[in-house]
Amino acid sequence: MNTIQLIKLKNAGDEAYFTSNISNEAAIGSIDNKNKINSDSTVAEFNKCDTDLLIDYIIKTHHAIAKTNSIVIYNLTQKAVYRHGDRHPELKKFCEVAFLFFQNLLNQLLKEELYLFPVIRQAANDSKFTNAMMISLCKL
């Protein structure tokens, strides 16, 4: 068990960051605005956002933080085992459990980015198309 396996999982979903259909200005604006709105208006702001924007926001902020911090925390557990494992054998077991936890977490994030979010995007696009068709048919 090593950090390289976790880093490979972390980097596996990075291609998704560059394939979004959202403009850079919109993404930057949404990230900049998150610090300007208070917690009461956060829900209202996100309800107004496009589905693609929300998915990109989740991937670029929450998933990126989870991926980065999981590697940092696992490296710290390895460091603790290396320095104190002789006196505290339970640290070795903790390091193994931490590795399995972070491997599971990174696999879950990867599944969301590769399978769940594309399905949500497609469903949102289909519903927009269907709603637009219904409105145009009602006007006839």
d(CA 57, CA 121): 13
Which pLDDT belongs to residue 126?
A: 82
Q: Give the pLDDT of residue 24.
A: 39
Task: Quote the tokens at residue 115.
Answer: 């399978």
Task: State pTM to two decimals.
Answer: 0.62
Tell whether 38 is covered by a domain: no
Residue 67 to residue 108: CA distance in whole angstroms: 11
Question: How does DSSP assign 73-116, residue by residue?
Answer: HHHHHHHHHHHHTTT-THHHHHHHHHHHHHHHHHHHHHHIIIII
Q: What are the mean pLDDT values of the chain's consecutive 10-residue runs (140 residues total)?
A: 62 47 43 46 66 90 94 95 94 95 96 92 77 56
Domain limits for position 112: 3-23+50-139
Q: Is residue 112 part of a domain?
A: yes
What distance in Å separates the CA atoms of residue 139 and residue 84, rounded to the nearest whole number? 74
Residue 17's pLDDT is: 37
Evaluate whether residue 43 is within a structural domain: no
Amino acid at 80: A
Structure tokens at 15: 């291609």
Residue 44 is assigned to a structural domain of this protein: no
Please check whether residue 68 is in contact with residue 7, taking contact to mean a CB–CB distance below 8 angstroms.
no
pLDDT of residue 80: 95
pLDDT of residue 98: 95
Task: Determine, yes or no, domain membership for 113.
Answer: yes
- Alpha-carbon distance of 44 to 48, in angstroms, equals 7
> How many domains in the chain?
1
Q: Is residue 40 part of a domain?
A: no
